Protein backbone atom coordinates (compact mmCIF):
# COMPACT_ATOMS: atom_id res chain seq x y z
CA UNK A 1 0.00 0.00 0.00
CA UNK A 2 2.85 2.41 0.71
CA UNK A 3 4.19 1.85 -2.79
CA UNK A 4 0.90 3.05 -4.26
CA UNK A 5 0.86 6.10 -2.03
CA UNK A 6 4.41 6.99 -3.00
CA UNK A 7 3.49 6.83 -6.65
CA UNK A 8 0.34 8.87 -6.07
CA UNK A 9 2.19 11.57 -4.15
CA UNK A 10 4.74 11.82 -6.97
CA UNK A 11 1.90 12.25 -9.45
CA UNK A 12 0.34 14.93 -7.22
CA UNK A 13 3.62 16.82 -7.00
CA UNK A 14 4.04 16.59 -10.76
CA UNK A 15 0.49 17.84 -11.39
CA UNK A 16 0.85 20.75 -8.98
CA UNK A 17 4.23 21.82 -10.30
CA UNK A 18 3.13 21.68 -13.94
CA UNK A 19 -0.11 23.45 -13.04
CA UNK A 20 1.60 26.20 -11.07
CA UNK A 21 4.11 26.72 -13.88
CA UNK A 22 1.38 26.99 -16.52
CA UNK A 23 -0.61 29.37 -14.34
CA UNK A 24 2.38 31.67 -13.82
CA UNK A 25 3.29 31.59 -17.51
CA UNK A 26 -0.28 32.30 -18.57
CA UNK A 27 -0.71 35.18 -16.15
CA UNK A 28 2.66 36.62 -17.09
CA UNK A 29 1.76 36.36 -20.77
CA UNK A 30 -1.54 38.15 -20.21
CA UNK A 31 0.10 40.96 -18.25
CA UNK A 32 2.84 41.42 -20.84
CA UNK A 33 0.26 41.36 -23.62
CA UNK A 34 -1.94 43.96 -21.94
CA UNK A 35 1.12 46.17 -21.41
CA UNK A 36 1.90 45.81 -25.16
CA UNK A 37 5.30 44.25 -24.56
CA UNK A 38 4.44 41.72 -27.27
CA UNK A 39 1.59 41.30 -29.73
CA UNK A 40 -1.16 38.96 -28.57
CA UNK A 41 -2.26 38.27 -32.14
CA UNK A 42 0.73 35.96 -32.51
CA UNK A 43 -1.13 33.45 -30.34
CA UNK A 44 -4.48 33.71 -32.13
CA UNK A 45 -5.77 30.47 -33.60
CA UNK A 46 -8.81 30.27 -35.85
CA UNK A 47 -11.61 32.37 -34.40
CA UNK A 48 -10.02 32.59 -30.93
CA UNK A 49 -8.09 35.72 -30.04
CA UNK A 50 -4.62 35.61 -28.57
CA UNK A 51 -5.67 36.64 -25.08
CA UNK A 52 -8.21 33.85 -25.02
CA UNK A 53 -5.52 31.29 -25.86
CA UNK A 54 -3.14 32.64 -23.19
CA UNK A 55 -6.02 32.72 -20.69
CA UNK A 56 -6.80 29.11 -21.52
CA UNK A 57 -3.22 28.15 -20.62
CA UNK A 58 -3.57 29.90 -17.26
CA UNK A 59 -6.94 28.30 -16.54
CA UNK A 60 -5.68 24.86 -17.54
CA UNK A 61 -2.74 25.27 -15.19
CA UNK A 62 -5.06 26.30 -12.40
CA UNK A 63 -7.18 23.20 -12.96
CA UNK A 64 -4.14 20.91 -12.93
CA UNK A 65 -2.98 22.50 -9.67
CA UNK A 66 -6.41 22.06 -8.12
CA UNK A 67 -6.50 18.38 -9.12
CA UNK A 68 -3.03 17.79 -7.71
CA UNK A 69 -3.76 19.56 -4.43
CA UNK A 70 -7.13 17.82 -4.11
CA UNK A 71 -5.65 14.36 -4.58
CA UNK A 72 -2.84 15.09 -2.12
CA UNK A 73 -5.36 16.31 0.48
CA UNK A 74 -7.41 13.16 -0.02
CA UNK A 75 -4.38 10.87 0.30
CA UNK A 76 -3.05 12.63 3.41
CA UNK A 77 -6.28 12.26 5.39
pLDDT band of residue 4 (cuts 50, 70, 90) is low
Instruction: Give 9-50 pLDDT, tens digit per residue.
Output: 899 999 999 999 999 999 999 999 999 999 989 989 888 899
**Domains: count for the chain:** 1
Four-CA torsion 31, 60, 54, 29, nearest 10 degrees: 30
Q: Tell me how far apart the alpha carbons of residues 20 and 11 are, in angstroms, rounded to a whole number.
A: 14
Q: Which residues pair with 45 in a beta bridge?
A: 48
DSSP 19-64: HHHHHHHHHHHHHHHHTTSS-GGGG-BTTB-HHHHHHHHHHHHHHH
- Helices 2-34 and 50-75: crossing angle in degrees, nearest 10, is 150
Query: What is the domain extent for residue 68?
Result: 2-75
Indicate the pLDDT class of residue 76, thresholds 50, 70 and 90: confident
Amino acid sequence: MTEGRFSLTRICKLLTSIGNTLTVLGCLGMVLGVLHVFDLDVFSFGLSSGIRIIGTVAIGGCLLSAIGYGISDHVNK
